[in-house]
Chain A
Amino acid sequence: MITKIQSTNNTTNFCALKPLKLGNMAQNILTKANNLSSVHQRLAIGASAFLIQPFIDLRNKEVDKDTRKVSAVRSAAKAIVGTATGIVIRGACMKAAELKYAKKDSAGKIIREAGKIVIDKNKVRKSFGKGFDKLNLDNNALSEAIKRTPSVVGTLAALFIMIGTNFLIDAPLTNKTSDFFEKITKKYLIKENGGKANG
């Protein structure tokens, strides 16, 4: 736990913070985190949105009780649809990029290690060599960056695709799912109010 014990003027005085030493387990987690992709990011944001946002809506005192329940359901629906489409499109584009830069054996078959596609570093260097040369990275950093390149290419391609899918799939699907959940909630609210619609 980092405890801020002293500060000068308005800036954070890092020298005054209690040092924190992280052990092997934390180091392993952080090392793995360095290779997390936009799919993991979308999943983290979507899952937390699904768990947190409905509760924030239920505590919104600016609207009446029934509206709170409906808006909580809408938030949950938005989180489900947004996360699902985001993950599917990003995942598909990243997979396509991985296949494009995959290492193949003499028979043209894709090489896999522990179920994961092995990236052909030469193919990546051939496509983005000039960019990597300008960065002057050491061997380890270069190797890590090359491993991440298909993920970067896939995510950027997904963003272009999402310009269209946001309009064609995301927005209408979110509306339909929200309306569906909203109808269920309203039915439940009418039952709860003894057969009378409220609000």
Chain B
Amino acid sequence: MANLGQKIIANFANDNAKFLFITAAIGWFLASAAQTFGIIVNKDIDKKDKKFLIPQEILDGAVNIGLYALITAPLIKNTEKLIDKGIISFTNVQKNTPKFDNIKGGARVLASFAGAVLSCNIITPIIRNKLGGIATHRKEMYQKINMDEFKYNPYYQPFFKKNIDKQPLNISNYVSFSKNHGMKI
């Protein structure tokens, strides 16, 4: 176990870009878990809303981390490939020298920064805003289903046309409805 810990830390210290990539993903996972836990323990949110909000929060976190990995990992890998294949080269620096390795390491670190900024601050918010519309619609549908299931819906008038003002069908507005001159029985 101690050896594994030493191996992990040595590997991370040797490959800074990989280290930053992995720890950022862990950080987002923890932040997302905290938000989800916050909803679970929040007494102000009722159980029915939690049923909707918890999966929504988990999905949000999964989209965040998934997009981050999907964009950043190939960006780091392709930056490395471009340098290895000589597409990106450096004046007066020979390949496989300590200076070359440092520069290449720096390029990979910057690629990981660029991937994080691109995925987390540009692509994810745009997708989240788009999905937000769908989520709102889902919430409305969910609330409607709950309302239909547990409460009597006074607007539901199977044999009569709904009135324009959407007044509940009680005896007083039934009388005014039946006295309506336009009504034909």
Q: Which of A's residues lie within 8 Å of B, judged by CB?
A: 2, 12, 14-15, 17-24, 26-27, 29-36, 38, 41, 44-45, 48-49, 52-53, 56-57, 60, 62-63, 75, 82, 86, 127-132, 134-135, 137-138, 140-141, 144-146, 148-149, 151-153, 155-156, 159, 162-163, 166-167, 170-171
Q: Which of B's residues lie within 8 Å of A, judged by CB?
A: 3, 5-14, 16, 19-20, 23-24, 26-27, 30-31, 33-35, 37-38, 78, 81-82, 85-91, 93, 98-99, 101-107, 109-110, 112-113, 116-117, 120-122, 125-126, 129-130, 132-133, 136
Residues of B within 8 A of A31 (CB): 99, 102-103, 106
Interchain CB contact under 8 A, B109 and A45? no
Interchain CB contact under 8 A, A128 and B9? yes
Closest Cβ–Cβ distance, residue B150 to chain A (whole Å): 29
Closest Cβ–Cβ distance, residue B101 to chain A (whole Å): 6
Main SS at interface, chain A: helix
CA distance A128 to B19 in the complex (A): 16
CA distance A135 to B10 in the complex (A): 8
Chosen A-B contacts, 25 in total, with CB atoms closer than 8 Å, are: A17-B87, A21-B90, A31-B99, A31-B102, A33-B110, A34-B102, A38-B23, A41-B24, A41-B112, A45-B24, A45-B116, A45-B121, A48-B121, A60-B129, A63-B132, A128-B6, A134-B7, A135-B10, A140-B102, A152-B19, A153-B9, A162-B30, A166-B31, A166-B33, A167-B34
Q: A19-B89, A34-B16, A127-B6 are in contact. List 13 more A-B contacts (CB 8 A).
A: A22-B89, A23-B91, A27-B93, A32-B106, A41-B20, A44-B117, A62-B129, A130-B6, A152-B9, A152-B13, A153-B9, A166-B34, A167-B37
